[in-house]
Structure 1
Amino acid sequence: MRKKISVHDIRMGMYIDELCGSWMDHPFWKTSFKLGDKKDLAALQQSGIREVWIDTSKGLDVASPVQEVSAEEAERQAQAVLLQATTQLQKTEERVSLEQELERAQKLRDKAKQAVISMFEEARMGKALPIGEISTLVDEISQSVSRNSGALLNLVKLKNKDDYTYLHSVAVCALMIALGKQMGMEGDALKSLGMAGLLHDVGKMAVPQDVLNKPGRLTEQEFEIIKTHSTRGWEMLKASSGVDEVALDVCLHHHERVDGTGYPDRLSAPALSMAARMGAVCDVYDAITSNRCYKSGWAPAEALRKMAEWQDGHFDQAVFQAFVKTVGIYPVGTLLKLKSGRLAVVTDQSNRSLLKPIVKVFFSSRSNAFIAMELVDMSRTQDVIESVEDVAKWGLDIRKITGVC
């Protein structure tokens, strides 16, 4: 039986089935293991993780009665959080289809990756950052997001261990812009958010690459080194002319939490700016949906459910709900099984409901065969979503088949 318990109630011999938090908050490269080392117990209790799931069929149960949450109740609570964001979407700008934007977004992704690599190399060598060039790049990213945010965001999900840091910066830039638009920001304010997203992880250039890309478990010392990247980045940006306060703030504080358990300054909600709260959500979402050298990323819909579970102490609730509206409860690229037995991949959000996206149907699970692809607006059909599916389970190359990442 799975139970969610506080880290303070963990004891030796328990089987840790899942750590309730981003893997950036702890030094463990595995999230499922039997607790047999006192050093691991101490590391867990001193990390940013507040709760864990244990499996009592594989290890010890809680020693005494504690407040437990069943898997079913946790799922219900997470779904309730997500459903709060199902109000009608507000779309005031002219948008294009995913297919129309994908080609332009691919070129922009490649251009942005090279620009960020160059920028980070400048930072690594202690040179001033080319803020003018960065500003132009942010404008182009903003234009793509306005045309169809799903195109670029889907493409930057395709990262490997060598380009993760660079494309993560591009993704957070795009997410910050999309989230800012959802929250009613525009003009210079929106531009500042994009700049902040692109620059937020520049401090990783001060972290030794063997630590940054280590495939196994980090030692406590290595984890502390990783955690210095926000302060080191702030120092780099402070030394560059033309970097505004929003970028400096997000760089320094995107790992802070509203309950005050983040780093580097352990700031709590009253002291955190709106931009820093937005940065925390965007940074975590892209990180946990990306494949890393030590862990496969979660599917977007699963990532949102996990973030909904963590949100009380980790994220600003209003910002998180706005973020759900931004990417959709079923983000672009999510594989769905419909009640009709057909498989479909999400290509866009409907302007009627976040629960009923626009999908591309391509496979029949009943006949186990491909069918003619069809674009379906779930808000205009009698068919309904039955479940979110694991792409690996079906062994399908979604991108090759449908053109959607």
Structure 2
Amino acid sequence: MAVRTQKLITDDLHVGMFVSGIDRPWRETPFPIQGFHIENRAQLEKIQSLCKWVYVDVQKSRTLSTVAPAQDFSFVSHYFEEKQRKNGRELLNLRIRSMQNQAPYKRLTNLNTEMRQARRVHKRIRDRIKRTLRALTGEGRLSIEDLRDVSNELVNSVIRNPDAFAYLSRIDSHSEDVLNYSIRVASWAVLTGRHLDLTREAMSDLALASLLCKIGYTTIPQEILRVRGTPTPHMNEMLKWSLVKGVKLLRTSDHFSSRVVKLVSHHLERYDGSGFPRGVSGRHIPFMSQVIGLADYYENLVSYDFRDEPLSSADAVRELFSQRDVLFDAALVEEFIQAIGLYPTGSVVTLNDERLAVVIGQNKARLKPKLLILEDQRKPWQIFKRRIVDLANATGEDFIVASQPALPPDSEHRNRHYFRHATSF
């Protein structure tokens, strides 16, 4: 389908283009609200003096120069169309062939059905992790039985429908402990495993290791962990060295396989050798440890747990893309972005008509996800009439103009909108 609307900075405008939207209220300009053609140089200079960027209707424009649209993801969406990504995936498949399923996974349930099941799985995971932590503080030993079952349930839920659990994990980021942080890391990791067609057994290990990757935080005083925002240098050292203590705790248990312990112990290693604790690099890092490390790095960018101001999904993806073959293997970064989506499930976005929405599902067209409308300040009575928007099936009138950072944990807006609508799709 041809692009109907492009977002352009006003320096890239030309006479003959049809301006259908601007970056400020129409009433503050002399231009007609229904849009207009740029007829002459004087009109062009006027729009450039008033606006930084505008929306141009391609079909209505009389002439269009070959100007790239100023989209959030132009830097990555163009790359995915190149042959280089195909070659990268083929090389990645060769490395993980022994861990891959014989056939790609298919979506087995719709969002409505899986959301109910995913809620139960999410609650059981939290309960089992709490039980495991109580056992740790009481007896000093961990038991795998309480976690392996829920890890398998997480994997099964993501296999049936990759959107439901990711959405629930994201909206439940208001917890004051590290439980939900680990669950969200596990969600991103298993989504990537599903995208790469890893076997259920491999994804079960991936989920279990992700849930345990921050187990060392139990050795840090809780009053320190409850302090939200960017950690101090001293706290960063405590968080980093907690990995060593966590791995020791796992090794005291007779139930955890050496494979799972190895995945946890290597998840902070980095592709260029700058990681922790051993500074190993490249292919010497276990592949699934790289997946967990990438999921952990992404979640750290977009959550309030360890940041004063988390990044939007667009900025986080841009950061990941800049770390190809630096902190992470380039092919894995590209597949991770493909797996979670350019606007990941649970992301808050703004539409072209200023409506606020949350992503509830992905489509093959990565820039056109399914959305749940949270707020329409201009027409609040329409929120119930048109609550779900699938951009892949939209006529071109709806499109995303910006992604927003996650809503603050104590946001009244989060409580009022996220959770009210999370129960009824």
Q: Same-fold call, TM > 0.5?
A: yes
| 1:353 is the counterpart of 2:372 | no
* 1:159 counterpart letter in structure 2: S
In the alignment, the residues of structure 1 paired with residue 80 and residue 130 of structure 2 have an alpha-carbon distance, to the nearest angstrom, of: 36
Moved more, 388-397 or 318-327: 388-397
Q: Deviations over 1:53-88 (max 9, x none)?
A: xxxxxxxxxxxxxxxxxxxxxx99974235544799
The alignment status of 1:168 with 2:181, answered yes or no, reads: yes
Conserved 8 A contact 2:357-2:375: yes
Please say which of residues 187-196 and 207-216 is displaced more in the overlay: 207-216
Aligned equivalent of 1:385:
399
Residue 366 of structure 2 aligns with an amino acid whose one-letter code is L
- Does 2:132 match 1:106? no
Tell me the CA shift for residue 106 of structure 1.
Answer: 2.2
Change (3 A) 1:222 1:293: closer
| Shift in CA distance, 259/79, structure 1 to aligned 2, threshold 3 Å | farther
Give, in whole Å, the separation in 2 of the partners of 1:323 and 1:112: 23
Structure 1 gap ranges (5+): 1-74
Contact 2:267 2:292 in 1 (8 A): yes
Could you tell me which residue of structure 2 aligns to residue 399 of structure 1? 418
- Counterpart pick for 2:299 among 286, 290, 295: 286
Q: Aligned in 2, Cα 1:358/1:83: closer, same or farther, shift over 3 Å?
A: farther
Once residues 85 and 233 of structure 1 are traced to their aligned partners in structure 2, the CA distance between those partners, rounded to angstroms, is 38
Q: Offset at 1:364? A: 4.8
Looking at structure 1, the residues matched to 312 and 126 of structure 2 have their Cα atoms a distance apart, in angstroms, of: 23
Q: Distance in 2 between matches of 1:214 and 1:282?
A: 22
The residue aligned with 2:209 is 196
- Provide the TM-score with structure 1 as the length reference: 0.70
1:81 aligns with 2:81: no
**Which residue of structure 2 aligns with residue 177 of structure 1?**
190
Displacement after TM superposition at 1:369 (Å):
5.7
Counterpart of 1:13 in structure 2 is none
Maintained 8 Å contact 1:82/1:305: no
Q: What secondary structure does 2:162 align onto?
A: helix
Q: Which structure is larger by alpha-carbon Rg, 1 or 2?
A: 2
Q: Distance in 2 between matches of 1:79 and 1:395?
A: 34
Q: 1:309 is matched with which residue?
A: 322
Measure the CA separation in 2 of the matches of 1:173 and 1:217. 22
Q: Is the CA contact (8 Å cut-off) linking 1:196 and 1:246 kept in structure 2?
A: no
Partners of 2:165 and 2:252 in 1: CA distance: 31
2:306 and 2:230 map into 1 onto residues whose CA distance is 11
Preserved CA contact (<8 Å) 1:332 1:347: yes
Contact 1:105-1:151 at 8 Å conserved across structures: yes
Deviates more, 1:383-392 or 1:190-199: 383-392
Separation of aligned partners in 1, 2:156 and 2:369: 23
Q: How much has 1:178 moved relative to structure 2?
A: 1.8
Structure 1 residues 389 and 282 mapped into 2: Cα distance closer, same or farther (>3 Å)?
Answer: closer
Distance 2:265 2:293 in 1: 11
Equivalences for 1:140-159 in 2 at 5 Å? 140-157=153-170, 158-159=172-173
User: How far does the alpha carbon of each residue in 1:99-145 deviate from its partner, in whole angstroms, 9 at most, with x for none?
Assistant: 33223222222221121122123234453322122111111111221
Letter in 2 for 1:272: I
Structure 1 CA distance for aligned equivalents of residues 107 and 152 of structure 2: 17
Asked if the contact 1:255–1:280 (Cα under 8 Å) also holds between the matched residues in 2, the reply is: yes
Q: Name the Cα RMSD after superposition.
A: 3.3
SS of match in other structure, 1:149: coil
Gaps in structure 2 of 5+ consecutive residues:
1-69, 87-102
Q: Give distance in 2, aligned partners of 1:339 and 1:76.
A: 12
Q: Which has the higher contact order (CA 8 A, sep 6+)?
A: 1
In 2, Cα distance between equivalents of 1:152 and 1:137: 13
Q: Which residue of 1 aligns with 2:147?
A: 134
Structure 1 residues 272 and 162: CA distance shift in structure 2, 3 A? same
Could you tell me which residue of structure 2 aligns to residue 376 of structure 1? 389
The AA in structure 2 aligned to 1:104 is: Q
Normalising by structure 2, we get a TM-score of 0.67
What percent of counterpart residues are identical?
Answer: 22
Conserved 8 A contact 1:259-1:313:
yes
Tell whether the 8 Å contact from 1:172 to 1:198 is kept in structure 2 after alignment.
Answer: yes
Q: Deviations over 1:330-370 (max 9, x none)?
A: 112333344466554322111x3212212235655665764
CA gap 1:319/1:206 in 2 versus in 1, 3 angstroms: same
C-alpha change, 1:244 and 1:85, in structure 2 (3 Å) is farther
C-alpha displacement at 1:268, in angstroms? Answer: 1.4
Q: Is the 8 A contact 1:362 1:373 kept in 2?
A: no
Write the deviation string for residues 191-221 of structure 1: whole angstroms up to 9, x where unpaired.
2112211211111112232333345775544
Q: How many residues align?
A: 328
